[in-house]
Amino acid sequence: MNVGDRVRVERNAVTHEGVLLPSSTDEELVVKLDGGYNVGLDREQASVEVLEENVHTVGESETGDSTVAFDEDLPTVALVSTGGTIASTVDYRTGAVTAQFDAEDVLRAVPDLAGRANYRGRVVANILSENMDASIWQDLADAVHEEIENGADGVVVMHGTDTMQYTASALALMLDTPVPVVFTGSQRSADRPSSDNVMNAVCAVEAAKADCAEVLVCMHASESDDECALHRGTRVRKGHTSRRDAFETVGAPPLGVVDYDAATGDEPEEAVEFRGDYVARGERALSLAPALNENVELLKFHPGMDPSRLESLSGADGIVIEGTGLGHVNTDLIPTLAEFVDDGTVVAMSSACIEGRVCDRVYDTGRDLLDAGVVEAEDTLPETAYVKLMWALENHDDPAAAMGTDLAGEATDRSTPWQA
């Protein structure tokens, strides 16, 4: 019995089947189950039967010598990785999943991508998305700009899901693009039967070949494997911790969908459907404005907040407040906010509500905030407003006015009820 063999293990009248993995101790067996999970078992109390030898060769490369052939009849899609599980495979040395980066590796991890486009692979970062910061957003924008400049017909950005909405907003503001830039990720790792990595990757590539030249987020539209939704990068929010359809466009239906059956059928060119107005391919010239001011904070107001807590924000160039309802905070905080504005800080108000827009002209608190110099961020999502203020402070003549102006689809003209 060797690591890499397929085994059946019986212990305490319970049977497990899977691939034998390396163990850190001689007293335990570790088995990769068919469902993707690893189980550790006491070796002494277990009965082991080898079902098949060398199912996986552990410790050696499984990549082979294949190369990605270029087909001049296909478009070129750049695959830009920042980390995450979207293009990962099982590492049978450890039982965990490991990220794959170059074009060949991605095609091995997601073979369904083959024949859809010519691919160029590029690594910007290999981090968990909670470790993202402004410098990596800038590196990513530079990389995407360079790929488009070098002839990419579309770009797919592979990104962890937790902070994808921040990064997508940053690129939408920093980059004017003549081709689609599509973010995608995976809520479930590649070693789980319910993984969404294959479908999301396939749909993202189809979206990158389509006509909408904006920054989009492509993720499952429902819990089923039927279609992916295409969300505008500045209007999307992750609304669930683990569901595959965790992402939603706030305040409107998704900008488009990708039908997975059509994408994997005989006519993939019919898979993508857009249901709203968008910037068409080639309509804008390529340009990049990557400067960001990192001295900006996002503050979530809560009842009972001590005004003295605001002192730590003194000296910030910008503050985005996630206020209650129409955009309110405790009146005791307003004098401090007024002092910040007088000292040159741009203070913008957003709302913690999922739907609707800020309007500080209804109640006395709102009017006092406006008198203090706080500006309304309209219906811009708080996370997007935070990124927007970072960008506006470096790239706009009047950052305060910019926060009430739609720059990249983040603020709508009016909030209206909608039906899917």
The string of pLDDT tens digits covering residues 311-334 is 999 999 999 999 999 999 999 999
Please report the beta strands in 65-180, taking only residues with DSSP state E, as ranges in sequence order.
76-81, 88-91, 96-99, 118-123, 154-158, 175-176
Which pLDDT value is given to residue 310? 95
Sign of CA dihedral 132, 133, 139, 142: positive
Distance from the first to the final alpha carbon of the chain: 56
Which class for 146: exposed (0-12), middle (13-18), buried (19 or more C-beta within 10 A)? middle
- Based on its alpha-carbon atoms, the radius of gyration of the chain, rounded to whole angstroms, reads 25
| Average pLDDT value for residue range 51-78 | 68
CA 89 – CA 98 distance, rounded (Å): 6
Q: So what's the pLDDT on residue 419?
A: 47
Whether 92 shows a pLDDT value over 70: the answer reads no
Helix, strand and coil percent figures for the chain, each rounded to 5: 25, 25, 50
Residues recognised as catalytic:
85, 161-162, 238
Residue whose structure tokens are 């980059």: 175
Q: Tell me, what's the pLDDT at 107?
A: 73
Output the CATH code of domain 296-402.
3.40.50.40
Distance (Å, rounded) from C-alpha 225 to C-alpha 242?
16
205/200 Cα distance (integer angstroms): 9
pLDDT at 195: 78
Tokens of 171: 């690129």
Phi, psi (rounded to 5 degrees) for 234:
-95, 0
What's the average model confidence in pLDDT over 46-65? 65
Residues of the chain above pLDDT 90, percent: 66
Q: Are the CB atoms for 371 and 397 separated by under 8 Å?
A: no
Question: Domain segments of the chain: what residues?
Answer: 6-52, 76-288, 296-402
Least-confidence region, from 56-65, 89-98, 118-127, 227-236: 56-65
Is the pLDDT higher at 272 or at 38? 272
Cβ(146)–Cβ(179) below 8 Å: no
Strands (E), 25-159: 28-33, 38-42, 47-52, 76-81, 88-91, 96-99, 118-123, 154-158
List, in sequence order, every beta strand (DSSP E) within 310-398. Answer: 318-323, 346-351, 375-376
What average pLDDT does range 12-22 have in this prediction? 84
Residue 275: other Cβ atoms inside 10 A: 13
The pLDDT score that the predictor gives to residue 359 is 94
- Read off the pLDDT band of 420 (50, 70, 90): very low
Q: Which two tokens stand for residue 5?
A: 């063999």
Give domain 76-288's CATH architecture. 3-Layer(aba) Sandwich (3.40)
Residue among 231, 352, 362 nearest 303 (CA): 352
- Predicted local distance difference test score (pLDDT) of residue 325: 97
What is the sign of the dihedral through the CA atoms of 301, 303, 305 and 307?
positive
How confident is the model over 198-212, as a mean pLDDT?
Answer: 96
CATH number of 6-52: 2.30.30.520
Q: How confident is the model at residue 236 (pLDDT cuts 50, 70, 90)?
A: very high
Q: Give the span between the Cα atoms of 91 and 101, in whole angstroms.
A: 14
The pTM of this model reads 0.83
Mean per-residue pLDDT over the chain, rounded: 88
If pLDDT is split at 50, 70 and 90, which confidence band does 273 have? very high
pLDDT of residue 254: 97
Task: Quote the pLDDT of residue 294.
Answer: 98
Q: Is the pLDDT of residue 228 over 50?
A: yes
Cα angle, residue 404 at apex, residues 399 and 406 outer, rounded to 5°: 100
Q: What percent of the chain has pLDDT over 70?
A: 88
Strand segments, DSSP code E, in 54-152 are 76-81, 88-91, 96-99, 118-123
Q: Can 6-52 and 76-288 be said to share one CATH topology?
A: no
Give backbone dihedrals phi and psi of 174, rounded to 5 degrees, phi first: -80, -25
Dist. CA 244–CA 172, nearest whole Å: 24
CA distances from 317 to 162, 217, 293, 298, 393 (A): 26, 29, 8, 12, 8
Q: What are phi and psi of 30, to 5 degrees?
A: -120, 125
Residues linked to residue 273 through DSSP beta bridges, in sequence order: 257
CA distances from 314 to 297, 303, 321 (A): 11, 21, 14
pLDDT at residue 58 greater than cutoff 70 = no
